[in-house]
Structure 1
Amino acid sequence: MVSYYNQGVPTTVDLENNSNQKKYTINRTSHRGLVISRPLCALMAIGALLLALLVGLLVFFLLPRYCTSEETPEALVKSETSDARVFAADAVVEDVDERLPRSLEPTHYRIQIVPNFDNLTTSGALTILLKPKEDVNKIILNVNNITIDKHSVVVKSTKSGSVPIAINDQDYIAGQRYRIVLDENLKSGGEYELALKYNGELNRHLQGFYLSRFNDRLGNERYAAATQFSPTDARRAFPCFDEPSFKSKFTISLARPSNMTSLSNMPISSTDLSVDQNNSYHWDHYPETPKMSTYLVAFIISNLKSLSSNNSHIKVWAREEFLGHTRYASEIAPKILHYFENYFGLTFPLPKMDIVAVPEFGFSAMENWGLITFRESSLLFDPDSSTTEDQRTIATVLSHEIAHQWFGNLVTPKWWNDLWLKEGFATYLQYFGVDFAQPDWKITEEFIAIEMQKAMGIDSLESTRPISFEVKSSRQIRQAFDEISYSKGAAIIRMMNHFLGDEVFKNGLINFLRIHANDNADRQDLFASLTEEAHRAGVLLQNETVKDIMDTWTEKAGFPIITCIADYEKNRLHITQKRFYLNDKDERSSWWVPLSFTTSRAPNFEDTRPKFWLRGEYEIMEDVGYLNEWYLLNLNQTGYYIVNYDEKNWKALIQNIMDLPTLTRAQLISDSMELARANMLDYDIPLRMIARMAVQDTNIMFVPTWVAFKKLKFLSDILSATPAFGHFEEYHRAIFKATYSVVTFDDKVDQYITRRIRQTVLEWSCMSPDSACVHQSRSKFRQLMINDHSVEPNLRAIVYCTAVREGTEIEWDFAYRRYLETQSPSEKNLLLDALGCTKLEWLLSRYIDKLTDDPSIRIQDADRVFESVAKNRAGTQIAFDFLRKNWNKLLDHYGEGFNILAKMIKALAPHMNTEFQLSEFERFRSSIRSNISTTTIAFNSAIERVKSNVEWMNKNYNQVADWLIKYKEHFAYL
């Protein structure tokens, strides 16, 4: 495989067979090189001109010339329209508009596809029914790494007796597209048929129709062929109109070896045997699907098995040795499906739902209609090796994908600029589905700790983007699958739910789904349905619309900080808004902000409806009746914003923190720490608040404790190489002293929340090398090494990481061998994380080098390995140097499908806080700017985070260091 920057001039063969579509340059030597005199240079230039003239004359007189009506020879067409040329143009101009014309509507695909596992190719036959919306003589559709047999292309009317329409030209064009030019127009209102044959590939990038290799329990190599089409990779499997608005019906036939089975969106209708001169195949034929977008089409050819189930409509598939691990998913999937059917009042419209654990899979899961595909670790639960966190992941991801069957599949966004319309809803609704299936978890309380924090973390940067934004190319589309679409989308949907009320919100969603079922919609369609219901219920004034409110949240980047200053004598609040920036940039910007409110006089945390609004104003004055000890805005953080109060109120909230609900504690800790980080609040406020809660919270409530630890992690990371770090550790150990003594390895309570608390606390407890946690972890790991004494699953992450961190090469090698030997997906993940915990830099270098030289590290796990090294204080520079050195090789190996390199870039920022590191990061981005792929947004946000870290050190370090020293003696007695 040729790298991005070749060691010499690429040959003609290199260019024509450049299947990975890379750019080439000629390397320059690092020395002075060859010096050519000026006269010799002039002679060489004259010679070159004469040679070019001679070649031109020879070509003109000797080559045969063709009439324009005749087809250009295949060899010449191929050399001129190679994918390498097309992709090179795309690589330079990232915002090239790749969208297809709207003049044709595909209504039905007939797909027949044959995978060849021997040479990793595919062959297919395709027929598409087309309805022109206007007279047009061009057909443009998407292809990527597909070779169309030009002689097989036929276009004709579906009317009886119609003859093929003459094709004037056909060619590959920029933007992963193929153009067919006809001699006559396709007439508006008619129906036409496009038929062709093509060849593709079973690639190893986990995109399109791809090959998955794995070993069974006996060590024998097995393989399967699976699909991942979202967002723009159906075009890798068959030529198509690969945009969400081109919904069609699909009739699919799959050829498979006799020892394998196949799955697709619909149940198999029939099977027959086909024998040709080389192979015999079983053909599985599937009935016509409902109307759906190409990214939701799916098929799998494999040896996977399923357990018999009481629910004949739902089956969970996995490797035979993992069938027992599908039981948990089999139990909760029907419950979650039933919940959403009742919630939406709409029955799941397909005749079956297959849920499949694919041995190699790029995303966590994919919502293909009727055939939901998963990464094994996101679906399989083994009581002997899986953790509570694994169980939570399985439940939430499964609920997310089932929610998509309505939001995304039944009603699909018109274009990727409204990706949040499906991903935000699936993220928000997943908490409802899990809460129904596992009510004892109280998982809805985790929303602000998980989704809100994730969204605000990226949305507080200048480099963030609006939820709805223009995308034109595949690269831009891939980068839209981020925290903004998922978590911020979910957060503003939650805000809508609360300011409209549950009943209005639910009825509005149901109306939206019924109106647009089996079709496409955009955010304005959603807002219209919600507005109609809100007006009917009197929730909004007749001159107010959901669009008025929500356009400010979907079309504007960032979120507001609401500053509230109380006039305690007049019982009045002065409320202002502006955009919150992590770097404390001052920018006036306004949103429609729902403001819920309560006070200490009559506290009510249940009523989250807005008490008053900021209707796009920068400031308002509100009379609130009576102000006593404290007051609060944004109850349970149902609004997507943070609040800063006057000093008197902050101090009152600190004093009464334990009288407030757990979600409010988490919210206040989060808001105050972010305000202090942005230099808008003295660190004395949040550090005192956390200390008071930590000392007094004898019950150790999970959500506020988790948020406090997460916010303190920023201080731990940024102070790690400074003189103040020791003082910070003393502060942390002192305030959480009782917590550390209560939460131990001996806690055997088998409850979700208890286990989540234990995991959170022990991770911090084991950071101190001389703690009891470290000694116990090393002892348990030693017993595992010597006597094969198994470690309790929920303690493994802590035990493995701690033992490897405090150990030597012996512990590291043992963990790596165990990774190679175990079949458990969950155990593999834990060990990959643990291997990056070592403090020995040469071992970290050895580990990260495996990304390029060890096939046992799968593509789907690459970002996990990199992040485990990058987040290690000893490994950040090692990871950065590795990325710089191997950029081209990594991009070539991992491709662009799953933002793997983008995740690597983001992982570097937490421990970078110097001007030198910032300049090196910026220099690296500049050096690969022409080859930046799908990492533009990741680079922008990571570099901005490093800048904010540098600014923090300049503005806040001395304040925090002095505070920690000043209160050192006080906290020693807590």
Structure 2
Amino acid sequence: MFNLQSVQLNQVLTTDQFGSTSAPVRLQSGSSTNMPSKSGMSKAFAVAFVVLTVSVIAGTVTMFILYEIQMHGVNATAQPTFPATTEPPPPVLRLGKSVVPVRYSLSLRVGLYTRIIQEVNVTSPNQTLSFSGNSTVHFRCAQRTNSIFLHGLDLLVSDPQVKHTDTGRTVGSSLKKPDKKSRFLEVGLKDFMEVGEHYSLTLSFEGELSENLEALYVSQYREEDLEYEEYTDGDRFLAATYLEPTGARKMFPCFDEPEMKAEFDVKIIHRRDTTALSNTKEQETGIVDEEWKFTTFQRTPKMSTYLLAFTVSEFRSVRSPVTDERVEIQTFARPEAIAAGHTAYASEITRKILEFYERRFQIEYELNKLDQIALPDLDPAAMENWGLVTYQEGHLLYEEGVSSMLHKEVIAVMIAHELAHQWFGNLVTMKWWNNIWLNEGFATYMSYFAVDDVEPSFKMTEVFIMDDLHEAFEEDALASSHPLILAEQDVETPDAISGLFDAITYSKGALLLRMLADIVGESTFNEGINRYLKDFRFGNTDQNDLWDSIERGRHFKFGQSVENLMAPWTKQAGYPVITIDTTNGEIYQKRFLFSDTAESSLVWHIPIRFMSQHMSESELVWLTESGPVRKEEFISKDSEWILANVNSFGYYRVNYNLENWQRLLHQLETKPHLIPLMNRGQLVDDAFNLARAKLVDVTLALNSTRFLRHETEFLPWESALRNLEYFVLMFDRSEVYGPMQAYLREQVRGLYDFYRTDTENSSVPVGHSEQHNQINAVMLACANGLPECIEMATYKFAEWMEPNGTNTIHPNLRSVIYCQAVAAGGRAEWEFAWDKLQSSSDTSEKEQLRGALACTKKIWLLNRYLQYTLDPDKIRLMDVASIITDVATNSAGQALAWNFMRAHWDYVSQGDASLLIQGVTSRFSTPFELEELERFADVYELGSGVRAAQQAIEQTRVNIEWVNNNKDAVLQWFEAHTEEERYH
């Protein structure tokens, strides 16, 4: 996400207060200069930068600046007194409601060259990062005012012209010199605008393409198959946009808030050898001169500024199979990727997913075209721009024979998520960012059904749900978590907005929708969301609008409204744990927290779907108070077990009395199939997390892994491995680790042998869950020193390293085998992997190799790898955070990654700051590490990573206490059970 801080306004020149034009002003996110930060792509860019500065600010000293922006905070300014008929100036961080935008006419010239000519005896042109343009926003006056406030950040803005639309009369205007603490452009007017009248504001602007993957940015890639090799090198460039949540203001002056929807007429002026794409179909293209052409696009629907998008590139496209002439679907990528057929899978399933949503929502997709484009650089993974969805290459391209077969799941889920946004987010948009879960939670939830519809053989719905449960539960178990929906005033800065794009918003939001659908019934729920989409089409909503839509179709009576039912789940942080005593039927709830010192009086309305050992179907009861209350249904009869939260529909954990736990664990070891598959995974997850919260003994959690020696299903193994990872992080630097490895080595031996023939023959089973579990078997066996696994991995990698050697490793197994071979090897293996990374043009292969390079146990090689992340010619900025996190996950690299991240924070945090902080600190469990972390949080400008740092501090405190309390018991358990498992 963005790394934005508060802004200040620097006026470049001054003029009379009122006039038809005024000197340009620059509203900027920095503190000392007028130009955005640069990461230094090339000397050619620097030259162009100087030329641009001279042309814009005549008479000033020519500047060549490469710097890191230092951010400063903003204090509220006193509001001046206005006439009673005038709306007061807007608050410091939110626009007022004086004017309502209706339509923008945006013309923008992108100066970027997509290739640099190297023809002999011809002077090479200098690359340029400049863009310029003008925008006219047509708006309605909603409150009498003589000022227009709007956004415009890191832009040189000039020449304001305000006109009355109906009469054509010009209203005297100027760019006023605002207080430096304001974050808005302000256009002062000589006369008042009257309520209900329509006006237009035209502004000219200039700016520079970002090299930090935000707003309008430049991306660089290498073209492998050169059509004009004698004239050019292989470096190619493109321009693309990423405007969510607050990037539009860095591209053109606008009302950059989601509720201020408008239509857009877009015209892009670009080099003649390039293609421009935008949200809608091309309307007209023409030649400007021998160097430039223009492309205009059809008017967009009414939409928020963050959904505006365009690209300028030399990419080519492939059309999806036509089943409906109404919507043209094209997938764009690098020419060689198109020629190699790497877009075929995405192109095939996109129309199927789109048609699924049209059937599901009973609303046709709004536009007549849908473009998808695979970008070499994008952070985050994808963006749902209406009609022009952008993806990281690795999340859209599938390379037969190179990509893992399981990579199709990633692509299918990603496309399903972004296309769900065409309805949830694009057609119907939240009023403000505090309701962003209405976009992201729905897109996550709906992707379960879309993937299951278009790829039923994957059978991955339960896996996706369990992944989301784990992600949300982990983050929501901290006192520093946040409610799904915050007060608007708590989400106003760009950093605060960006901080909401987390597991709470995506995963918890999806899981609460799933829980609600189970409560009211799928048909009632689906009717409600379809009604919601129809009623608020092209509009903005908050969550109460959704509850009302579902309430209107509800066919049962719970005793309270959907709004009251869901309010505790969305407006309170965290989630409950229910405790059931099957000896007397008593049940109570409390907030689940890893820190047992944190007090909470929160109460939820909890639907408890339960079954017993001899029940054929589950039943539903409610817990609506803290308790304890007595329920006859939960009294165990004839020593049978009781299982609550069947199929994990509820967003809560379950604890039992010890006798019931023992019965459930015995069932897992004897006849596990009597317990639903999702609950076999969730029982393990609950046991481990209850132990982390000190609600059960840690030995009970460890006992929940004993059944795995006979288990071959993926979900229980995946759940166990996720939770055992915490034990590895806490103990892999202590004497506990040896006995732990010995135990896990014996536990996984059966699973490894189950897949051994396939693995050694470089083949995989048919089912996707079995393919996932094969990877788990190899990873766990090799990581814990099973000799036959390490021998297999090193042998297969060595075969590839031979002169003229070929890679016979199955694509599914490459990531894990590469990692284990590099871990077991030395310099030769690492440098071989690095050379392959540098020379490969395959997106999937590069991703697998990047992960493997972080697996080496040689500290000096890990340090070299970290240093490489500072060179954008070696490591792309969007990959920096994940590489540093991978190194930190390696016990040999954790300290290196922590020191490196702090030393180079200004550069590395341009990616995902929250991911960095969470990943690098995940092993922290000592007072010294806590002290360093607290100092880091106090001293560094963390931007959108503030909440992640707070959570890391809390988690470290929990870790310290947990290790102190459990280390001896864990050591004794592993020592006692190692020999026992060998015997079995």
Secondary structure of the residue aligned to 1:445 is helix
Q: Deviations over 1:166-196 (max 9, x none)?
A: 4483548546421112122211111000011
Alignment match of 2:507 (pick from 487, 494, 497)? 487
Secondary structure of the residue aligned to 1:325 is coil
Q: 1:620, CA displacement in angstroms?
A: 2.5
Partner of 1:641: 652
CA distance in 2, matches of 1:236, 1:509: 34
Partner of 2:472: 455
Alignment match of 1:315 (pick from 324, 330, 345)? 330
Q: Which moved more, 1:339-348 or 1:169-178?
A: 169-178
CA distance in 2, matches of 1:85, 1:513: 44
CA distance in 2, matches of 1:782, 1:925: 44
CA distance in 2, matches of 1:656, 1:227: 54
Counterpart amino acid of residue 689 in structure 1? S
Structure 1 507/87 Cα, relative in aligned 2: closer, same or farther at 3 Å? farther
Q: Which moved more, 1:728-737 or 1:702-711?
A: 728-737
Partner of 2:285: 271
CA distance in 2, matches of 1:23, 1:630: 68
Summarize the alignment of residues 609-620 of structure 1 with structure 2, pairs less than 5 Å apart: 611-620=620-629
CA distance in 2, matches of 1:881, 1:85: 19
Partner of 2:664: 653
Contact kept? 2:210, 2:216, Cα under 8 Å: yes
Secondary structure of the residue aligned to 1:346 is coil
Secondary structure of the residue aligned to 1:90 is coil
Q: Deviations over 1:901-942 (max 9, x none)?
A: 2211111223221111111111222222xx222210111112
CA distance in 1, matches of 2:853, 2:262: 47
Partner of 2:893: 875
Partner of 1:768: 784
Secondary structure of the residue aligned to 2:913 is helix
Does residue 114 (structure 1) correspond to residue 109 (structure 2)? The answer is yes
Partner of 1:623: 632
Counterpart amino acid of residue 496 in structure 1? L
Contact kept? 1:388, 1:756, Cα under 8 Å: no
CA RMSD of aligned residues (A): 2.6
Q: 1:817, CA displacement in angstroms?
A: 1.0
Partner of 1:163: 170
Contact kept? 1:360, 1:860, Cα under 8 Å: yes
Partner of 1:576: 588
Contact kept? 2:445, 2:514, Cα under 8 Å: yes
Contact kept? 1:168, 1:182, Cα under 8 Å: no
Partner of 1:407: 424
Structure 1 511/175 Cα, relative in aligned 2: closer, same or farther at 3 Å? farther
CA distance in 2, matches of 1:188, 1:85: 45
Partner of 2:734: 722
Does residue 949 (structure 1) correspond to residue 959 (structure 2)? The answer is yes
Contact kept? 1:863, 1:903, Cα under 8 Å: yes
CA distance in 1, matches of 2:607, 2:505: 21
CA distance in 1, matches of 2:469, 2:403: 27
Counterpart amino acid of residue 615 in structure 1? T
Which structure 2 segments of 5+ residues have no match? 5-11, 13-24, 34-56, 62-66, 78-90, 113-126, 226-232
Alignment match of 1:910 (pick from 922, 925, 930)? 922
Does residue 552 (structure 1) correspond to residue 568 (structure 2)? The answer is yes
Structure 1 788/172 Cα, relative in aligned 2: closer, same or farther at 3 Å? farther
Structure 1 86/785 Cα, relative in aligned 2: closer, same or farther at 3 Å? closer
CA distance in 1, matches of 2:872, 2:549: 53
Summarize the alignment of residues 508-523 of structure 1 with structure 2, pairs less than 5 Å apart: 508-523=528-543
Does residue 598 (structure 1) correspond to residue 611 (structure 2)? The answer is yes
Contact kept? 2:329, 2:351, Cα under 8 Å: yes
CA distance in 1, matches of 2:431, 2:419: 20
Q: 1:132, CA displacement in angstroms?
A: 1.5
CA distance in 2, matches of 1:231, 1:319: 27
Q: Deviations over 1:347-400 (max 9, x none)?
A: 101111001101211111100001111000000000121113422111101000
Contact kept? 1:577, 1:589, Cα under 8 Å: no
Partner of 1:70: none
Partner of 2:292: 281
Partner of 2:123: none
Counterpart amino acid of residue 371 in structure 1? L
Q: Which moved more, 1:129-138 or 1:510-519?
A: 129-138
Contact kept? 1:809, 1:843, Cα under 8 Å: yes
CA distance in 2, matches of 1:484, 1:342: 29
CA distance in 1, matches of 2:945, 2:610: 41
Summarize the alignment of residues 244-643 of structure 1 with structure 2, pairs less than 5 Å apart: 244-275=258-289, 280-311=291-322, 313-323=328-338, 324-469=341-486, 470-534=490-554, 537-541=555-559, 544-568=560-584, 573-585=585-597, 586-605=599-618, 611-624=620-633, 627-628=636-637, 629-643=640-654
Structure 1 316/75 Cα, relative in aligned 2: closer, same or farther at 3 Å? closer
Contact kept? 1:834, 1:868, Cα under 8 Å: no
Q: 1:87, CA displacement in angstroms?
A: 7.9
Alignment match of 2:216 (pick from 209, 215, 226)? 209
CA distance in 2, matches of 1:603, 1:247: 52
Secondary structure of the residue aligned to 1:533 is coil
Counterpart amino acid of residue 611 in structure 2? T
Q: 1:589, CA displacement in angstroms?
A: 1.8
Q: 1:539, CA displacement in angstroms?
A: 4.4
CA distance in 1, matches of 2:511, 2:319: 39
Structure 1 882/627 Cα, relative in aligned 2: closer, same or farther at 3 Å? same
CA distance in 2, matches of 1:434, 1:423: 16
Counterpart amino acid of residue 311 in structure 2? I
Partner of 2:753: 741
Alignment match of 2:875 (pick from 844, 857, 860)? 857
Q: 1:654, CA displacement in angstroms?
A: 0.9
Which structure 1 segments of 5+ residues have no match? 5-11, 25-73, 79-83
Q: Which moved more, 1:614-623 or 1:796-805?
A: 614-623
Secondary structure of the residue aligned to 1:653 is helix
Higher helix proportion, which one?
A: 1
Q: 1:449, CA displacement in angstroms?
A: 2.2
Does residue 663 (structure 1) correspond to residue 643 (structure 2)? The answer is no
Summarize the alignment of residues 14-163 of structure 1 with structure 2, pairs less than 5 Å apart: 21=30, 88-90=71-73, 97-117=92-112, 118-149=127-158, 152-163=159-170
Counterpart amino acid of residue 298 in structure 1? A
CA distance in 2, matches of 1:908, 1:945: 13
Q: 1:625, CA displacement in angstroms?
A: 8.0
CA distance in 2, matches of 1:411, 1:17: 33
Does residue 939 (structure 1) correspond to residue 954 (structure 2)? The answer is no
Contact kept? 1:23, 1:88, Cα under 8 Å: no
Structure 1 380/92 Cα, relative in aligned 2: closer, same or farther at 3 Å? farther
Structure 1 85/670 Cα, relative in aligned 2: closer, same or farther at 3 Å? closer
Secondary structure of the residue aligned to 1:400 is helix
Contact kept? 1:154, 1:195, Cα under 8 Å: yes
Q: 1:287, CA displacement in angstroms?
A: 1.4
Contact kept? 1:361, 1:374, Cα under 8 Å: yes
CA distance in 2, matches of 1:783, 1:88: 52
Structure 1 77/91 Cα, relative in aligned 2: closer, same or farther at 3 Å? farther
CA distance in 1, matches of 2:68, 2:731: 49
Contact kept? 1:411, 1:520, Cα under 8 Å: yes
CA distance in 2, matches of 1:503, 1:533: 9
Secondary structure of the residue aligned to 2:950 is helix
Partner of 2:864: 846
Contact kept? 2:27, 2:183, Cα under 8 Å: no
Structure 1 194/616 Cα, relative in aligned 2: closer, same or farther at 3 Å? farther
Q: TM-score, normalised by structure 2?
A: 0.86
Q: 1:588, CA displacement in angstroms?
A: 2.8
Contact kept? 2:31, 2:72, Cα under 8 Å: no
Matched pairs, number: 881
CA distance in 2, matches of 1:93, 1:799: 56
Contact kept? 2:376, 2:393, Cα under 8 Å: yes
Counterpart amino acid of residue 533 in structure 1? G
Q: 1:732, CA displacement in angstroms?
A: 1.3
Q: Deviations over 1:598-634 (max 9, x none)?
A: 11121425x6xxx222224443222228633011211
Q: TM-score, normalised by structure 1?
A: 0.87
Q: Deviations over 1:852-894 (max 9, x none)?
A: 2452210111112111111000000000111122223444xx2
Secondary structure of the residue aligned to 1:242 is coil
